[in-house]
């Protein structure tokens, strides 16, 4: 399930696919702490499901000098947290 955090019916979809397959792959950038993707990530942090976290710094092209500054031009802190820093709490819309 790609960009699961942005799926309006992610919990219902997740429930529906469990009987169809023995393996589900969840992928997303975070969008706050209160959605199905964040719930699944919490299960992963607790060791209840397997997970793999891939930060942009692991990519050889994205890790080049100047890439981060170029990519974040015009982005606010919530957008950077969501799209680049894998921060669930800082990516919440309307966070204070």
Alpha-carbon 74 to chain mean position: 21
**Tokens linked to 46:** 């607790």
pLDDT in tens, 32-66: 899 999 999 999 999 999 998 888 888 888 877 88
Measured over the CA atoms of residue 44, residue 77, residue 65 and residue 62, the dihedral's sign is positive
Residue 44 Cα to chain centre, angstroms: 12
Per the CB < 8 A criterion, the answer to whether 82 and 33 are in contact is: no
pTM comes to 0.74
Q: Does residue 88 contact residue 30 with C-beta atoms inside 8 Å?
A: yes
Cα 28-71-10 angle, rounded to 5 deg: 15
> What pLDDT, on the 0 to 100 scale, is given for residue 60?
86
């Amino acid at each position: 399930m790609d960009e699961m955090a942005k799926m309006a019916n992610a919990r219902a979809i997740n429930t529906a696919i469990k009987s169809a397959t023995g393996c589900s792959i969840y992928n997303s950038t975070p969008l706050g702490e209160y959605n199905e993707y964040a719930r699944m990530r919490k299960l992963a942090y607790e060791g209840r499901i397997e997970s793999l976290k891939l930060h942009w710094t692991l990519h050889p092209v994205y890790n080049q000098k100047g890439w981060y500054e170029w990519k974040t031009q015009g982005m606010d802190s919530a957008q950077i947290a969501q799209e680049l820093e894998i921060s669930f709490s800082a990516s919440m819309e309307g966070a204070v």
